[in-house]
Structure 1
């Protein structure tokens, strides 16, 4: 046999739904898998051309595409899925008329639970947002993904309640990016501000299309799983691969210090890391109006330094 045999090979691995992907959907999932894998290799190649202190965004981006690569391999193999009774049975539909059960890829939601917080983390680090705000925003993102998963696995109209909770979390994330994080990015100015604005608007526009895809596929059973694969696949390519290209391009001249991230070089001494080269390194040379005095060298090289006795030099 030649060609894609994944569906035949995994036909008896777990229960199968009445409505599931065909070889066309499987081929598309494998195509996106290859794109994510290639992007991961390219990002890591670019990372090794940078100093270790400048690889933060490269490593986060590579983690995003690597996880997505594994998830798309699972979906292309028709694994990581469950048959769920559909709420809306559409017997007159050409595409989903045969659906009593529809396959739901929980592998997709595992992917999103890992990768979407990392996407947000890249944006929030770019804007220089405080850690408490970062944690709150990432928690809202995880809640959004969990609500989407539970709703997709729910067989009754109560699934739309979870969809509503997820939308509320998405609006909270949008507020944090468009208002709170924007203020921090404006304070930084320069390339970080431009990069944040470009990438945040791009990501939010795409993220508001995901609930539409959910409503047409897992939620309303309107489109075929192959069409679902194309819809989600295009959104993931744009929000992961294209987003990564925009972000890394925007950070090509930005140092971690400009974002408030003081990352020490492997050969940098602790004293140089904490004190730098004076005010030019971003550390003040005076404190509260007093003039900083050079550190005492008395007793240098000895465990304990004793003051000199009176009358002695």
Structure 2
């Protein structure tokens, strides 16, 4: 009886087998269990980060909110994959002799994973590049390159022919620009700021770059080359995502415990706080201009009155002279 209960504990694959088309090569219950495990890790991490944020002043919560949001999106994505949803069958380009992938005609492609990456990877970059104090134009172009990388990965995964590898190359080129922004631009700015900022950026930047370099390998042996079984794909991507999201997040936020957002150029007011100084200065400048205008007008009136009085005095003097004669 206990064995039957264990067998029925995860019925997601059976329940959702009627949803959409099913691939010849797809995850098994083991893969589904692993996806749900990662979902739980992402959910608990997101809630933990939100709880951590509540212990901070509101002006210091920006990085906590970004991190909690990306972790929650990842949790939704892994829930979908654990339930075998958000997938579509694609004819495998390579049919291998390996017993693990011998059944491939069609292979299961989780497009929901790429939706996850389209949302979460820019937020990871935002977390890291804001830590370096980079200007917004540099951050935005890095995020654009990241979006190109993710979209190319998705399009390549959905293509059945060898042309998928063209999109793989385009995606890798975009990734190299992201790596350049992190390794060169970000490191330079963080080095100038020094201290905790430099240490936190270097630690988290090295971790993220190393992990992200492994994603093209994972893509090549799973969606691209059909080398490993979807269960192995789940483990590969799951481990990478755990390191790139929860582990990265907690290291980053731990580093930020001694960093004032204003040191990064993030001047965030507490709710209800008075506006910053420049607004007051502009207000006083207007008053001074108004007073200056009145003063100038008064001076002009004074000159006019002085000239009039002088004219009257001269006229009186002339009259006195005539009377004396």
Counterpart of 1:274? 277
Please, which of 223, 229, 249 is the counterpart of residue 228 of structure 2? 223
Aligned residue for 1:17, secondary structure, equals coil
Residues 1:176 and 2:163 aligned together? no
Residues 1:96 and 2:73 aligned together? no
Distance 1:170 1:94 in 2: 33
Residues 1:307 and 2:312 aligned together? no
Distance 2:79 2:287 in 1: 64
The residue correspondences of 1:191-206 to structure 2 (distance < 5 A) are 191-206=196-211
Closer, same or farther in 2 for the Cα pair 1:296/1:210, shift >3 Å? closer
Please, which of 129, 149, 159 is the counterpart of residue 154 of structure 1? 159
Residues 1:72 and 2:78 aligned together? yes
Aligned residue for 1:84, secondary structure, equals strand
Please, which of 26, 30, 34 is the counterpart of residue 24 of structure 1? 30
Deviations 1:106-137 (A, max 9, x none): 00000000000000011110001111111100
The residue correspondences of 1:231-270 to structure 2 (distance < 5 A) are 231-270=236-275
TM-score normalized with structure 1 length: 0.88
Calculate the aligned-residue CA RMSD, in Å. 2.1
Counterpart of 1:128? 133
> How far is the alpha carbon of 1:275 from its aligned partner?
5.1
Q: Figure out how many residues of one structure are paired with residues of the other and give that number.
A: 290
Counterpart of 1:41? 47
Distance 2:65 2:244 in 1: 17
More helix by share: 2
> How far is the alpha carbon of 1:178 from its aligned partner?
0.8
Counterpart of 1:62? 68
Distance 2:256 2:158 in 1: 39
Please, which of 50, 65, 75 is the counterpart of residue 56 of structure 2? 50
> How far is the alpha carbon of 1:307 from its aligned partner?
3.4
Please, which of 166, 171, 176 is the counterpart of residue 171 of structure 2? 166
> How far is the alpha carbon of 1:296 from its aligned partner?
7.2
TM-score normalized with structure 2 length: 0.85
Please, which of 80, 83, 92 is the counterpart of residue 86 of structure 1? 92
Aligned residue for 2:294, secondary structure, equals coil
Distance 1:298 1:186 in 2: 43
Counterpart of 2:195? 190
Distance 1:137 1:55 in 2: 23
Q: After superposing the two structures, state which structure 1 stretch, 261-270 or 21-30, moved more.
A: 261-270
Distance 1:296 1:30 in 2: 61
Distance 1:101 1:274 in 2: 63
Distance 2:28 2:171 in 1: 29
Closer, same or farther in 2 for the Cα pair 1:298/1:81, shift >3 Å? closer
Closer, same or farther in 2 for the Cα pair 1:298/1:25, shift >3 Å? closer
Aligned residue for 1:264, secondary structure, equals coil
Aligned residue for 2:258, secondary structure, equals coil
Distance 1:214 1:99 in 2: 17
Q: Where does the alignment leave 5 or more consecutive residues of structure 1 unmatched?
A: 277-291
Distance 2:149 2:287 in 1: 59
Q: Where does the alignment leave 5 or more consecutive residues of structure 2 unmatched?
A: 303-325
> How far is the alpha carbon of 1:298 from its aligned partner?
6.6
Closer, same or farther in 2 for the Cα pair 1:298/1:72, shift >3 Å? closer
Counterpart of 2:119? 114
